[in-house]
Amino acid sequence: MEFKRVVITGLGVLTPLGNNLDDYWNGLINGESGSAPITRFDASKFKTQFACEVKGFDPMDYFDRKEARKMDPFTQYAMIATDQAVEDANLNEDRISKDRIGVIWGSGIGGLKTFQDECQAFIEGDGTPRFNPFFIPKMIVDIAAGHISIKHGYRGPNFVTVSACASSTNAMIDAFTYIRLGKADAIVTGGSEAAVNESGVGGFNALKALSTNNENAARASRPFDKTRDGFVLGEGAGCLVLEELEHAKARGAKIYAEVVGSALTADAYHMTAPHPEGLGATNVMKLAIEDAGMQPEDIDYVNVHGTSTPLGDIAEIKAILEVFGEHAYNLNISSTKSMTGHLLGAAGAIEAIACVKSVQEDIVPPTINHSESDPEIDPKLNLTFNKAEKRTVRAALSNTFGFGGHNTSVIVKKYVG
């Protein structure tokens, strides 16, 4: 069968760099850091006392009190980013059939704050089981897609993907596939995460996954730097409206870019560590390029997973060299996690949006906080250190990898009618 073409017609974000698309993109291009001391709770006894929190967020600015109490923060973030993207795409206009619009969301953890609070209240009580009647609906990961569909009346495919830090890219790939196959006209997709709380920070500290550079929080996320010591936890949401091309054209929709390829693989190696030679990452990039009907030379920018961990950064660089060969030296490569931190299940969504804007505006956001070269990383690679670079970006590839060995890649390119 002939696949249908899929384009992006709406974008929305809630991030540590800004609570709308313009602020987020300007923050990326200006090389801003979203990392600062934690304000959500008293982190003074934690090994890591900083994170990339969403700034200036008050749920009462978006929801009434009764509505807000029914949602964990990860769902609140999802709803806000989605509202922006839906408005941007004008997806609720009357002539659109909502039976043909779906919601495929991603989150790695879901309602962690709700689970923590409810369990703590029970343990500190007298043993009588007094749980909030919304405990389960607030906590379960799929509820974000449910709330989005209920608010907007979208009756097409509806579910949430869970593949750790690859979750929202996994969701985008599923959305891309459903539309390609003609099973939906448009799908609201992306991801959200709200793990900046005692359980999230404590759990990742126990794994020794987080940076502990408390003295210089703003520079703690430093992918590819010799002194990197772990990732910085982030939170927020990103939403993209994916739409079948002819459907978008028929209603005169604005088109940001075209989604042209995707792939998923597994490392089949270790619970938390990447394959040391980047095998799964190599395979997933090769398959995504093949799926797009492209050659490695057609890619100009790779937005890497690049979490700022000692093992992960090296494995991904090995994979890029294996996939792109000599063309690797013509690429711009950058990790926007150096600015946003790691949004876990929402990372893929906001990074795909960074790729879309890069393709649209021909500028590559930087990898900030670089000061000391890692001798294990080829110095001839252009990792876009510390400053954004102007260049023609015909196509961009975004990588996201998750605990469990989950690997995902998605490719966007300039739309040509």
β-pair type (395-402, 406-413): antiparallel
Query: Strand locations in 23-111, DSSP E?
Result: 36-37, 50-51, 101-106
Query: Is 370 an active-site residue?
Result: no
- Of the candidates 275, 342, 370, 406, the residue annotated as catalytic is 342
Contact 413, 387 (CB under 8 A): no
Q: Two tokens at 220? A: 């703690």
Give the residue carrying structure tokens 């509202």: 83
| Alpha carbons 156 and 154: distance in angstroms, whole number | 6
Backbone angles phi, psi at 137, to 5 degrees: -60, -30
- Of the candidates 247, 305, 370, 406, the residue annotated as catalytic is 305
Nearest CA-CA partner of 46 in 194, 214, 220, 227: 214
Query: Is 239 an active-site residue?
Result: no
Query: Is 152 an active-site residue?
Result: no
- Of the candidates 165, 239, 370, 406, the residue annotated as catalytic is 165
DSSP-derived 3-state class of residue 20: coil
Contact 113, 138 (CB under 8 A): no
Question: Measuring CA to CA, how many Å separate 227 from each of 24, 184, 220, 349, 371?
Answer: 27, 47, 10, 28, 9
Q: Which residues are catalytic?
A: 165, 305, 342
